[in-house]
Each structure stands twice: as structure tokens, then as C-alpha cells.
């Protein structure tokens, strides 16, 4: 009987103390993020991003992402669509985090390459004006600061602030954005 009671107590202590292990080296995650690109038309200027993450040691992780961005440029009373298709790769470092890894603050540096198109390739406007901006390949570097909190053992809520510096574009090179996302860790 004494052995039975000790076994039950050991099992109860083990179960009560068990917690999910998070951010294990080699653990992968899939994240979807969406957000705003400007404050001119925050509802219409947006991006959607899908990324894969691969955790390394100490909560750091590598990431690879694909992104679609949609903005409007104003010309008189016309809203001309500007679309970007980007691929991004980089590494994120955990800056701060609690011992249980419930909330972490991460900073990432990334490389970015993609394609940018204006007015879906149509250069002539209804009033006879010609768009001088050129569609083409863009590239650059980016950074992001993300606050991440675990909703459960596998789901992570992300709040991100991002900035990119792009070359090969006829628009502004510095592009800030903010977003909200969800990651599922496998």
C-alpha cells in the first residue's frame, strides 16, 4: 500500500509540474501576418505575409517569408493600385523573455527581394496622363520588432513593427508597417 501511495504521489507531482516545452531547437512554425502599410489610407493599404520559422538555440529563429502588399497612389481623383510581391529571409534574436517563455520580444534583420507593379502595368490614364513609375525588380533590407505571446502550447500571437529600405523602386525607399499575426508551432 505504501508503494502504491508513493507511486500515485510521484505521478501527481510529475503531472502538476509538467509544462510544454517551447522554442526547442529544430522546432518549426508557420505564421500568417497582416497589417497596414501607411497611415494615409490604413484600411486600403495593407499587406499579408506567410512565413516559416525554424527555431535555434535560446529562442532565436530563422525565417523565410512570402508577402503581398497592396497600396493606392493618389492622382487627382483616381486611386492607382501599387502592388508588391516580396520574398524575405532572415534571422530573429530573442531580446527579452520571461522564464516560462510566455511573452518574448524579438528583433529580426532580413533581406528582401521582389517585384513591384504600378496600376497593374497600364501606363496610360483616362485623362491622357502617362505613369512614369516603372514596374520592376526591387531589393533591400528589413528589420522587425515583434512582441510574441503564447495563447496555448502551439499558438503564438504576434504584434509587429517593421521597416524596410528598398532599392530599385521609383517610390519612397523607406517603408514602415505594423501588423498582427498568428503562428502555429509544429
Q: What per-residue confidence (pLDDT) applies to 9?
A: 62
Return d(Cα 117, Cα 137) in angstroms, integer: 9
Average pLDDT, the chain: 86
Range of the domain at 123: 2-185
Number of domains into which the chain is organized = 1
Return d(Cα 26, Cα 62) in angstroms, integer: 10
- Backbone angles phi and psi of 77, in degrees to 5: -105, 10
Confidence at 25, pLDDT banded by 50, 70, 90: confident
Q: What is the 3-state secondary structure (H, E, C) of the chain?
A: CHHHHHHHHHHHHHHHHCCCCCCCCCCEEEEEEEEECCCCCCCCCEEEEEEEEEECHHHCEEEEEEEEEEEEEEECCEEEEEEEEEEEEEEEEEEEECCCCCEEEEEEEEEEEEEEEEHHHCCECCCCCECCCCCEEEEEEEEEEEEEEECCCCEEEEEEEEEEEEECCCCCCEEEEEEEEEEEEC
Q: What is the pLDDT of residues 79-124, one digit of tens each?
A: 888 999 999 999 999 998 877 778 899 999 999 999 999 988 788 7
What is the number of residues in the chain? 186
Q: What is the pLDDT of residues 127-171, one digit of tens each?
A: 878 888 888 999 999 999 999 998 888 899 999 999 999 999 888
Q: Are 90 and 111 spatial neighbours (Cβ–Cβ below 8 Å)?
A: yes
Question: Would you say the C-alpha torsion 104, 110, 115, 116 has a positive or negative sign?
Answer: positive
Whether pLDDT at 39 is above 80: no
Q: What per-residue confidence (pLDDT) applies to 143?
A: 95
The three three-digit cell numbers of residue 59, written as one number: 529562442
Return d(Cα 148, Cα 33) in angstroms, integer: 12
- pTM for this predicted structure: 0.81
**R_g (Cα) of the chain, nearest Å:** 22
- Backbone angles phi and psi of 134, in degrees to 5: -105, 140
What CATH number has the domain bearing residue 68? 2.40.160.20
Amino acid at each position: 500500500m505504501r508503494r502504491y501511495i508513493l507511486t500515485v504521489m510521484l505521478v501527481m507531482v510529475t503531472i502538476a509540474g509538467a509544462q510544454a516545452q517551447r522554442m526547442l531547437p529544430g522546432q518549426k512554425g508557420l505564421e500568417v501576418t497582416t497589417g497596414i502599410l501607411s497611415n494615409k489610407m490604413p484600411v486600403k493599404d495593407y499587406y499579408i505575409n506567410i512565413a516559416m520559422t525554424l527555431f535555434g538555440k535560446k529562442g532565436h529563429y530563422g525565417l523565410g517569408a512570402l508577402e503581398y502588399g497592396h497600396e493606392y497612389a493618389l492622382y487627382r481623383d483616381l486611386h492607382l493600385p501599387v502592388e508588391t510581391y516580396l520574398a524575405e529571409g532572415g534571422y530573429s534574436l530573442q531580446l527579452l523573455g520571461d522564464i516560462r517563455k510566455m511573452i518574448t520580444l524579438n528583433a529580426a534583420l532580413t533581406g528582401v527581394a521582389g517585384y513591384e507593379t504600378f496600376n497593374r502595368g497600364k501606363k496610360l490614364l483616362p485623362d491622357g496622363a502617362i505613369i512614369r513609375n516603372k514596374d520592376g525588380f526591387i531589393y533591400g533590407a528589413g528589420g522587425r520588432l515583434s512582441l510574441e505571446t503564447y495563447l496555448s502550447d502551439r499558438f503564438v500571437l504576434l504584434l509587429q513593427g517593421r521597416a524596410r529600405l528598398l532599392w530599385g523602386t521609383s517610390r519612397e525607399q523607406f517603408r514602415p508597417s505594423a501588423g498582427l499575426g498568428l503562428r502555429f508551432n509544429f
